[in-house]
Chains A and B, each alone.
Chain A
Amino acid sequence: MNKKISNSFSNEQLLKFYEKMFLIRKFEEKAAQLYGAGKIGGFCHLYIGQEAVVIGILSSINSEDTVITAYRDHGHILARGVDPKSVMSELTGRKDGISKGKGGSMHMFSKANRFYGGHGIVGAQVPLGVGIGFAHKYRNEKKISRVYLGDGAMSNGQVFEAFNLASLWELPVLFIIENNKYGMGTSIGRSAAGNELFERATVFGIKGEKVDGMNFFTVSDAAIRAREYINNNSKPYIIEMDTYRFRGHSMSDPGLYRTKDEVNKMKEIDPVLMMKESLLKEYKFEEDTIKDIESDIKKQIKDVEKFSLDSPLPDIKELFTEVYL
């Protein structure tokens, strides 16, 4: 297979992808800060370190395609183009949050941007995403349901039921395992028997592969291959992303289950920095071009922060609305 498809991106597209990766990074750093200041409560799972996955996949996505993921969802909803202000306001639990402050960090949705959440129960989003793929096929839509799951979910029973159904009914679903090596504090070696995680889907007749999830270009190439496969064969496909989260599982994670050396070593292949280096060295972008993008994002994040703190708490009447339609 051609491994160098992504070279066909225009300069403008490449800069856009970098901008999105940088936006997610800065957004999450700000979220960490606001959590520390007590402005964000409860659970808050940061995407820092995994940016190449979501943006690499995005580079292959048709705007009509749908996306669903678990609770580490900030990066995903931002990638889908939802206004960072409404995402941050959801984290701060305010009226202008994408879920009106009623969902929180783990529960954000946008039909307009074809993002179906934001789900807090490990593995549950996988049958749901297969159901969205079912709806695409039922309506004869040329869309792919993109279903993200973590390495932790790969030991959850309903995921295998979903693989079986997706393959049996030949549904247009792309499964993307974000293997960041730890399901909360339990390393993959202590939770998953057997070989590669994606191979667990191949027994259901689902084709797939494992790719370097720290590198935008390898992710993008795989995502485009997957898209072509699904479109040509009307069958599901699975990609296992070899990735890493630099921060804890959630904000209250002391990280006793892994060494600092391990984290530092992974930071040497920081996906955002690698993408930047690639743009500067291989694609010969001007340093200033990148700097301008970065300072625009930093400025934007300041506005996002201010907006998310100025937005009022939800009206107390919201307590009883939207239980039923």
Chain B
Amino acid sequence: MKILLPALSPTMETGNLVKWLVKEGDDVLSGDILAEIETDKATMELESPDDGKIEKILVKEGSENISVNTEIALLSVEGEEIEEKIEKPIESSQPKIPNGADTNIKEINISMGSLLKEQSDSLETKNWSEKEITMREALNQAIEEEMIFDKDVFLLGEEVAEYDGAYKVTQGLLDKFGSKRVLDTPISEHGFTGLAIGAAMSGLKPICEFMTFNFSMQAIDQIVNSAAKSLYMSGGEINVPIVFRGPNGAAARVGAQHSQCFISWFSHIPGLLVVAPSNARDAKGLLKSSIRNPNPVVFLEHELLYKEKSNVPEENDFLIPIGKANLIKEGSDVTIIGFSMSVQRILNALPSIEKLGIKPDIIDLRSIKPLDEDLIYKSVKKTNRVVIVEDGWGNTSFGSHLSYLIQSNCFDYLDSEIIKVSGKDVPMPYAENLEKLALPSTDEITSAVKNVSYTS
């Protein structure tokens, strides 16, 4: 057996043979130290790869800059001499380069696209029997229906059971499903999130509630490293069908640590789907789709929207496909894009925008990842002007990425710069007036629309 100078670190290319600790004729056991090798980082010990006798030393001690894989000694191994001579040395075996099309960065979008196509478009247009309820009730209905539909679905989180939910989203579920399927956890996000992901790896479908998404930061390693990456790094073996849900963004005067939007954080991560509904109807249809989805879904709600009402189908087969945006108002002059709470802010600004004689397309993204790029680009190619509204901080935000996507896909259609109205880059202040200033305002949205329209 040939002993080659090994690579003893991921970056090592050459090494110095400081000292031999064996001489020709010595018997050695596998793992015995044969020599000291100086690498680019440290002095390392070279261990014998097998039991045998040192037949010949080929490189003298004190030699410097020996390339990795140089033969430095011969080891005779019992019963292996004959085979060894005809065996190919390791270094001669080069991996075969597979054939294949050029790597195309668009393919990731294509694979996201196939995710969308699997879901039926027709469901939203069916004649549903509808009732006006709050988003809180809609979310509750979605969870209840899916727990009836699939016994692998269970709910865990802080105060979800006996307390009826910190925001009453999970009210009454403990009574309906019992403590086996509706579990109060200790205040232990890292632990219970990991537990939920482990349960999902073995095929259950957990709904993991964060009392608010601020607390998900305690568990972000599990969300990013365990939930999002397992499918890929297992070569498709382990999927993680889980929904992380709870209120996200600024509520009202709860201060810096309880007021932030995590859309940009989670939409950054390959492997996660990110959904952020703005109304009760979408909340129900999207939460049901999220629970049925085989991927990890981050489902971002908003405390201030829990009480908002809209008409919601009562049938339990009502689903809204993930990845479909909603053109909630059709116009011609400018495309205004929002999601979750910022849709509300855009609607609040609408009267003053219309007063200017401007007719906007208003897009509620609903899903951040996958993103309904087709609908966005179609609108932009029609209006040639874009305003993006987001509650989160503007620095390296999702809105920044969206404006990049629009300029690269609709460059020739734009008649103006894209304007982004974001949260101010400050920790959320407590004082009422300062908090208001930190979030996108009606005036800011109206003035952004004016600016992209070159109207004074």
| A interface residues with partner B (beta carbon < 8 Å) | 25, 29-30, 32-39, 41-43, 48, 66, 68, 92, 94-95, 97-104, 107-111, 116-121, 124, 126-136, 138, 157-158, 160-162, 164-165, 168-169, 246-247, 251-252, 254-256, 260, 267, 295, 302, 309-317, 319-325
* Chain B residue at minimum C-beta to C-beta distance from A114: B202
- Is the beta-carbon distance between A48 and B31 smaller than 8 angstroms? yes
* Chain A residue at minimum C-beta to C-beta distance from B42: A254
- Is the beta-carbon distance between B8 and A120 smaller than 8 angstroms? no
The reply to whether the CB of B336 lies closer than 8 angstroms to some CB of chain A is no
| B interface residues with partner A (beta carbon < 8 Å) | 4-10, 12, 30-31, 33, 39, 41-45, 47, 49-50, 68-69, 79, 83, 90-91, 93, 95-101, 103, 107-108, 110-112, 115, 154, 180, 183, 185-186, 188, 190-204, 221-222, 225-226, 230-239, 270-271, 273, 294-295
Known: A36-B8, A317-B101. A97 touches B235 (CB 8 A): yes
Known: A129-B198, A254-B41, A309-B90. A102 touches B233 (CB 8 A): yes
- Is the beta-carbon distance between A323 and B232 smaller than 8 angstroms? yes
Known: A35-B7, A128-B194. A164 touches B235 (CB 8 A): no
How distant is B367 from chain A, measured CB to nearest CB, in Å? 13
Q: What would 9 more interface pairs be, CB under 8 Å, given A37-B6, A162-B195? A: A33-B49, A37-B90, A68-B198, A99-B234, A103-B234, A120-B225, A127-B195, A302-B83, A314-B98
Q: A104 to chain B: which residues have CB within 8 Å?
A: 233
Of A32, A42, A94, A255, the contact of B10 (CB 8 Å cutoff): A42
Query: How many Å lie between the Cα of A108 and that of B190 in the bound state?
Result: 23
- Is the beta-carbon distance between A132 and B201 smaller than 8 angstroms? yes
- Is the beta-carbon distance between B234 and A107 smaller than 8 angstroms? yes
Query: How many Å lie between the Cα of A121 and that of B228 in the bound state?
Result: 14
- Is the beta-carbon distance between A158 and B194 smaller than 8 angstroms? yes
Known: A66-B202, A134-B199, A252-B8. A316 touches B103 (CB 8 A): yes
Q: A102 to chain B: which residues have CB within 8 Å?
A: 232-233, 235
- Is the beta-carbon distance between B33 and A127 smaller than 8 angstroms? no
- Is the beta-carbon distance between A324 and B273 smaller than 8 angstroms? yes
* Chain B residue at minimum C-beta to C-beta distance from A161: B191
- Is the beta-carbon distance between B6 and A36 smaller than 8 angstroms? yes
How distant is A24 from chain B, measured CB to nearest CB, in Å? 13
Q: A313 to chain B: which residues have CB within 8 Å?
A: 95-98
* Chain A residue at minimum C-beta to C-beta distance from B46: A36
- Is the beta-carbon distance between B202 and A99 smaller than 8 angstroms? no
Of A130, A136, A160, A310, the contact of B195 (CB 8 Å cutoff): A130
Of A111, A131, A255, the contact of B198 (CB 8 Å cutoff): A131
Query: How many Å lie between the Cα of A131 and that of B10 in the bound state?
Result: 35
Query: How many Å lie between the Cα of A97 and that of B101 in the bound state?
Result: 22
How distant is B429 from chain A, measured CB to nearest CB, in Å? 31
* Chain A residue at minimum C-beta to C-beta distance from B204: A135
Q: B226 to chain A: which residues have CB within 8 Å?
A: 119, 121, 124, 128
Of B45, B96, B115, B188, the contact of A164 (CB 8 Å cutoff): B188
Q: B49 to chain A: which residues have CB within 8 Å?
A: 29-30, 32-33
Query: How many Å lie between the Cα of A246 and that of B31 in the bound state?
Result: 8
Of B91, B98, B107, B237, the contact of A111 (CB 8 Å cutoff): B237
Q: B185 to chain A: which residues have CB within 8 Å?
A: 165
Q: B238 to chain A: which residues have CB within 8 Å?
A: 109, 111, 116-117
Interface centre among B10, B100, B107 (most CB of A within 10 A): B10
Known: A29-B30, A161-B192. A252 touches B10 (CB 8 A): yes
Query: How many Å lie between the Cα of A58 and that of B41 in the bound state?
Result: 38
Q: B6 to chain A: which residues have CB within 8 Å?
A: 33, 35-37
Interface centre among B95, B222, B271 (most CB of A within 10 A): B95
Of A99, A131, A320, the contact of B235 (CB 8 Å cutoff): A99
Known: A37-B6, A165-B188, A309-B95. A132 touches B199 (CB 8 A): yes
